[in-house]
Amino acid sequence: GAPSPAALRVRRLREDGLARLAGAVGGGLFHLVGGSPLPFERIARELAGHYLLAFHATEQDRDGRVHRIEVKLRGHRATLRARHAFVLPGPEARPTSLAARLAGLLRAPAVETELPLRVATYTYQEPGQAKVRVVVSAETEPASDGPSTPTLAFVLLDERDVIAATATHEAPSGAYAFSALVAPGDYTLKVAGVDALGRRGTVERPFGARLMQAGPVRVSDLMIADVPGRPGESLRPAVARPVQEQVLAYLELYADDGVVLRATKVRIDVAETEAGSTLLTMPATLQARDARWSIARAVLPVNALPAGRYFVRADVIVSGESARRIARPFTVGARVNARR
């Protein structure tokens, strides 16, 4: 009946893996005792207000050696989590060609975060074919200390890890989108990027390349894009970069019965959450491409919204009844007043 003398050591061993995993991604390990809500309250408090610190490595740092990191805070009103050291491979350890470096990043199991990358996928029906068209959009954050034109590489893998599509492109604007024709199914998208400063970034995400059903109507993904400057100009999907004045919501509808498609309407609105109250709304303009294919568009003026995160929602209404709601997040950026 006596407590084990090794109980504390056993507990530390049991928690060591979780603590390492949480620390590797900048998080922390919290202990839940009974039904206490304190750990969840602390997590919610940390998510509500936090700052992320980063630094740019110099060429002198890329020597394959261990470099210590020391971060200090004034006061005691914040919690600090930081790595204690970093190691970057030396020039002799890096592949000589950009193509080899990108290929190595795509094959590596570890995630690179020097170059922030964000990606999004959108699925549409390819007219006259059983395949679907997947649009992949990626964005990077520009460096604050000079030009950093990134080169982005994409690989699309099917369920058997067979390459379904690839692309490589230099993106001076930091954003690039491409499309691929694939069979409906589950895929894994891998994206790697290297910029002129040597910063590296990778993203890997699974997704399903399928249309959604809205009663008798099939629906594509909801795309948020910049408003084209000229008629006929290709859309530029917005992944996460903030918008300031207006945003375009784009949706495609398909049906085997043209009568059903003509009786379908789409209402677009904006809310703070997926299920939140509507902040602004407007009907989408539907353009018939043929008897079984329509495109829904709506330009949303968001310049009156405070800076922050919102959702664009599309309600597909078939014969007067709401058949499907699709939502996608976006961010409104702070507006800067120009002065002379």
Residue 190 has pLDDT above 80, yes or no: yes
Candidate from 64-73, 74-83, 289-298 with smallest mean pLDDT? 74-83
Q: CA gyration radius for the chain?
A: 24
Give every CB contact of residue 21 below 8 A, 6+ residues apart in sequence: none
What does the pLDDT read at residue 340? 33
Neighbours of 247 (CB within 10 A): 21
Condensed to tens digits (0 to 9), the pLDDT of residues 218-257 reads 999 999 998 888 877 888 888 877 887 889 999 999 999 8
Residue listed under structure tokens 């006929």: 232
- Average pLDDT for the chain: 87
Burial class of residue 189 in the structure, from the number of CB atoms within 10 Å of its CB (0-12 exposed, 13-18 middle, 19+ buried):
buried
**CB of 214 closer than 8 Å to CB of 323:** yes
Indicate the SS3 state at residue 166: strand
pLDDT tier at 337, thresholds 50, 70, 90 = very low
Condensed to tens digits (0 to 9), the pLDDT of residues 79-126 reads 888 778 888 877 666 556 888 889 999 998 888 888 889 999 999 999
**CB of 213 closer than 8 Å to CB of 219:** yes
User: And the tokens for 107?
Assistant: 């094959």
Residue 145 has pLDDT above 80, yes or no: no
Candidate from 7-11, 92-96, 159-163, 203-207 with smallest mean pLDDT? 92-96
What does the pLDDT read at residue 207? 94
Condensed to tens digits (0 to 9), the pLDDT of residues 279-297 reads 999 999 999 888 899 999 9
pLDDT tier at 132, thresholds 50, 70, 90 = very high
Residue 176 has pLDDT above 70, yes or no: yes
Distance CA 170, CA 151 (A): 4
Q: Percent of the chain beyond pLDDT 70?
A: 94
User: Which one-letter amino acid corresponds to residue 75?
Assistant: G
